[in-house]
C-alpha cells in the first residue's frame, strides 16, 4: 500500500452523528458507497450536462460527467499521495444538487425562489446529503464524514457570505463544525480542479460531435492549437471521431500534467508542514500554471459562445426553463396533490416544492408538466 502524504486527510474521520466503525471499509469508502447507493446519484443518469437528456443517448449526462471527474481526481490523488477514497467521494457527489436542464434549470429555479431564500445547486447538494436522503432510523441524510461535508461545501473554495446557505439550510446548521473561511483540503482542491478539466474537455468533445463548431476553429486557442496541428495529417486517413478522441485525450493529459507540475511547485515553494497549514493558506495549492489558466479561461469563453449560447442548445434549455417555471407555480397552487402534511414544510412550502423540482430528471419534469398543463 502506498504511503500517504502528511498533508493527506487520514482514512478515518468523525461523522455528524456517531456510528460504529466498519470492519471492512474505511470511513471514506463508506461515504463513497452511500453516495453511489443514493437516489439522487441514480437520477443524475437522466439530468442534463449540456444537451437536454432527451436529445441523444451519446452525449454526456451528469452521472457520466461525475464518473469522469472521479477518474481524473483519483489519478491526481495517487500522484500526490492523498486520500483517494475522499477524492472519489467528493467527485461523485459534487453535482447531486443539480436541477433538471442543467444550469438553465438552476437559474430559473433561483428566480422562482427569489422571495423564499433562493437556490444554489452546491448548497442543494448539502441539503441532499444532510436532510433529504432518508435511509437510516436514527438520523436524516447520509451522515457523511465532516471532511466530506467540508469538501462539498467548499467545492469552489472558502465561503465568506453565508446568506444563501443560512436560507437553504437554516442558521448555524453545522454548529461551528465547518470553518467556512478556511481553504478546503487538498483532496477537495483536487476534486474541484478535476471537475474543471473534465467538463471543459468533454463539453468540447460533445460540441464537436454535435457539429456546433469545427476542429479548425480551435486553432486560435492556446495549448489546443498545438495539439490540433499534431493530429492535422491524421484527419485525411482516419475516422474523424477517432482523431477527435485522441485530441481530447491529449488535452486532458496536458491539463493534468500542468496541474501536477504547478502543484508540486506550490508545495515546494510554500512548504506546508501539516493539514492545518493547508486550511490556513491564503490560496489553494492545487492549481493550474498561469499559462494553463489562460487556456482554461479562453476555452470556457469559446464554449460559452459557440456551444452554451448556440441556438439549438438554447432552444431546448429555454423550453426546460419554461417547464420548471410553470411546474413551480402549478405546484404552489395545488401542493396537496403531491405532498402530505408530513412531507411539506409548514414554514416554507416553496422550499419543499423546490426540493421536489430540483430532484427531478429531465424526462420526469417534462412528463409531469405535460400531465398538468
Decide if pLDDT at 132 tops 80.
yes
Mean local confidence (pLDDT), 278-283: 95
Decide if pLDDT at 196 tops 80.
yes
Decide if pLDDT at 1 tops 80.
no
Say which residues have a Cβ less than 8 Å from residue 103's Cβ, sequence separation at least 6. none
Mean local confidence (pLDDT), 145-166: 94
Pair 204, 78: CB distance under 8 Å: no
Which of residues 207 and 53 earns the better pLDDT score?
Answer: 207
The mean pLDDT of the chain is 92
CA 354 to mean position of chain CA atoms? 19
Of 48-57, 114-123, 303-312, least confident by mean pLDDT is 48-57
Decide if pLDDT at 271 tops 90.
yes
Mean local confidence (pLDDT), 228-240: 76
pLDDT given at position 65: 95
| Residue 107 neighbours by CB distance under 10 Å | 15
pLDDT given at position 223: 84
Give the rounded percent of residues in the chain with a pLDDT score beyond 90. 74
Decide if pLDDT at 279 tops 70.
yes
Nearest-angstrom CA–CA distance, 250 and 79: 19
Secondary structure, 3-state, the chain: CCCCCCCCCCCCCCECCCCCCCCCCCHHHHHHHHHHCCHHHHHHHHCECCCCCCCCCCCCEHHHHHHHHHHHHHHHHHHHCCCHHHHHHHHHHCCCCCCCCHHHHHHHHHHHCHHHCCCCHHHHHHHHHHHHCECCCCCCECCCEHHHHHHHHCCCCCCCCCHHHHHHHCCCCCCCCCCCCCCCCHHHHHHHHHHHHHHHHHHHHHHHHCCCCCHHHHHHCCCHHHHHHHHCCHHHHCCHHHHHHHHHHHHHHHHHHHHHHHHHHHHHHHCCCCHHHHHHCCCCCCCCCHHHHHHHHHHHHHHHHHHHCCHHHHHHHHHHHHHHHHHHHHHHHCHHHCCCCCCCCCCCHHHHHHHHHHCCCHHHHHHHHHHHC
| Residue 34 neighbours by CB distance under 10 Å | 21
pLDDT by residue (tens digit) across 347-365?
789 999 999 999 999 999 9
pTM, entire model:
0.95
Nearest-angstrom CA–CA distance, 372 and 81: 53
Residue 240 to residues 34, 98, 208, 213, 216, Cα–Cα distance (Å): 40, 33, 10, 14, 13
Pair 133, 142: CB distance under 8 Å: yes
Decide if pLDDT at 238 tops 70.
no
Backbone torsion region of residue 104, taken as left when φ is above 0, otherwise alpha when ψ lies between -120 and 50, otherwise beta: alpha
pLDDT given at position 357: 97
pLDDT given at position 233: 76
Pair 209, 241: CB distance under 8 Å: yes
Nearest-angstrom CA–CA distance, 124 and 15: 19
Residue carrying C-alpha cell 456517531: 18
pLDDT given at position 340: 75
pLDDT given at position 12: 84
Pair 24, 175: CB distance under 8 Å: no
Decide if pLDDT at 145 tops 80.
yes
Residue carrying C-alpha cell 467538463: 199
Please name the fold of domain 27-313: Hypothetical protein af1432 (1.10.3210)
pLDDT by residue (tens digit) across 65-114?
999 999 999 999 999 999 999 999 999 999 999 999 999 999 999 999 99
Mean local confidence (pLDDT), 219-237: 81
pLDDT by residue (tens digit) across 5-27?
899 998 888 998 999 999 999 99
Mean local confidence (pLDDT), 295-299: 93
Of 60-74, 109-123, 238-252, least confident by mean pLDDT is 238-252
Decide if pLDDT at 201 tops 90.
yes
Decide if pLDDT at 55 tops 70.
no
pLDDT given at position 294: 93
Amino acid at each position: 500500500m502506498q504511503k500517504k502524504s502528511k498533508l493527506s486527510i487520514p482514512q478515518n474521520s468523525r461523522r455528524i452523528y456517531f456510528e460504529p466503525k466498519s470492519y471492512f471499509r474505511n470511513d471514506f469508502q463508506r461515504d463513497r458507497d452511500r453516495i453511489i447507493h443514493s437516489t439522487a446519484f441514480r437520477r443524475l443518469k437522466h439530468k442534463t450536462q449540456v444537451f437536454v437528456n432527451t436529445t441523444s443517448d451519446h452525449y454526456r449526462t451528469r452521472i457520466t460527467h461525475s464518473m469522469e471527474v472521479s477518474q481524473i481526481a483519483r489519478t491526481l490523488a495517487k500522484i500526490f499521495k492523498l486520500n483517494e477514497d475522499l477524492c472519489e467521494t467528493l467527485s461523485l457527489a459534487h453535482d447531486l444538487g443539480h436541477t433538471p436542464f442543467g444550469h438553465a434549470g438552476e437559474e430559473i429555479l433561483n428566480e422562482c425562489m427569489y422571495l423564499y431564500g433562493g437556490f444554489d445547486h452546491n448548497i442543494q447538494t448539502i441539503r441532499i446529503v444532510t436532510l433529504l436522503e432518508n435511509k437510516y432510523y436514527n438520523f436524516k441524510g447520509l451522515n457523511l464524514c465532516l471532511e466530506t461535508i467540508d469538501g462539498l461545501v467548499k467545492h469552489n473554495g472558502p465561503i465568506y457570505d453565508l446568506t444563501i446557505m443560512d436560507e437553504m439550510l437554516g442558521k448555524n446548521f453545522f454548529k461551528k463544525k465547518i470553518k467556512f473561511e478556511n481553504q478546503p483540503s487538498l483532496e477537495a482542491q483536487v476534486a474541484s480542479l478535476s471537475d474543471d478539466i473534465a467538463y471543459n474537455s468533454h463539453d468540447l468533445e460533445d460540441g464537436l460531435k454535435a457539429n456546433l463548431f469545427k476542429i479548425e476553429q480551435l486553432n486560435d486557442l492556446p495549448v489546443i492549437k498545438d495539439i490540433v496541428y499534431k493530429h492535422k495529417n491524421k484527419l485525411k486517413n482516419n475516422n474523424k471521431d477517432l482523431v477527435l478522441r485522441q485530441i481530447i485525450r491529449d488535452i486532458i493529459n496536458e491539463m493534468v500534467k500542468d496541474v501536477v507540475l504547478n502543484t508540486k511547485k506550490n508545495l515546494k515553494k510554500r512548504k506546508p508542514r501539516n493539514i492545518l497549514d493547508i486550511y490556513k493558506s491564503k490560496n489553494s495549492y492545487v492549481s493550474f500554471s498561469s499559462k494553463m489558466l489562460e487556456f482554461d479561461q479562453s476555452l470556457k469563453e469559446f464554449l460559452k459562445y459557440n456551444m452554451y449560447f448556440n441556438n439549438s442548445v438554447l432552444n431546448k434549455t429555454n423550453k426546460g426553463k419554461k417547464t420548471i417555471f410553470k411546474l413551480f407555480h402549478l405546484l404552489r397552487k395545488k401542493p396537496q396533490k403531491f405532498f402530505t402534511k408530513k412531507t411539506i414544510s409548514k414554514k416554507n412550502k416553496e422550499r419543499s416544492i423546490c426540493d421536489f423540482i430540483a430532484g427531478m430528471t429531465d424526462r420526469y419534469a417534462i412528463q409531469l408538466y405535460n400531465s398538468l398543463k
